Amino acid sequence: LGTNMDRWAAYAQVSFWQLYNSEFSSPFRETNYEPEILLNYRTNTDLWGGVRNRFIQVGLNHQSNGRGKPLSRSWNRITANFGFERDDLNLILKTWVRIPEGASRDDNPDITSYLGNGELWLGTLWKDCHLALMVRNNLRFDENRSALQGEVSFPLLAHLNGYVQYFAGYGESLIDYNHFTSRIGVGVMVKDW
């Protein structure tokens, strides 16, 4: 769309494997689907003290778990994301505004009181490892809710990385968006070719 702007389409799917509880749900407790479209503007603007604004994104995002009532969860959002970097440190501010739904169609009318309207991602490289931290808060003093996620990935084989993630807070999955969750996950990640 010109020299500094791209149109992106993305799809993410997160499945929560539940090995230990075959009576309730086996092998997966929940799968969340997240398609989105974004306009990505590459700014690459120097701000201050070596900090550069690398991009601004605006788009539409949908999240759902594909289940029927009463376990159905979904919402649509208008998003705006801002990426900054300084040396090996990067910061992404993700913001959103929920697109309202009619009361008869809304599976989770209070989701923003748990997930708020944005989250902050901080990442860096240390030796061969990638470290990342996500912080989210609903910014409500009366019923404050938040989430924290820490990640580390490290080389295993030629194109595979090991991956460890810790999550504590609200909104890790749509089915449990309004329940506090604390979890550690381990796995492998395909890295860039």
> What is the distance between the alpha carbons of residues 89 and 171, in angstroms, rounded to a whole number?
26
Q: Retrieve residue 115's tokens.
A: 């997930």
DSSP string, 19-77: -S-TTT-SSEEEEEEEEEEEEEEEEEEEEETTEEEEEEEEEEEEEE----TTS--EEEE
Q: Retrieve residue 170's tokens.
A: 């609200």
| Identified catalytic residue from 15, 22, 26, 64 | 64
Q: Retrieve residue 150's tokens.
A: 């820490």
Is residue 64 annotated as part of the catalytic site, yes or no? yes
Is residue 146 annotated as part of the catalytic site, yes or no? no
- The closest alpha carbon to 14, from 175, 139, 153, 146, belongs to 175
How many other CB atoms sit within 10 Å of the CB of residue 102?
6
| Identified catalytic residue from 15, 22, 26, 62 | 62
> What is the distance between the alpha carbons of residues 87 and 90, in angstroms, rounded to a whole number?
8
Which residues are marked as active site? 62, 64
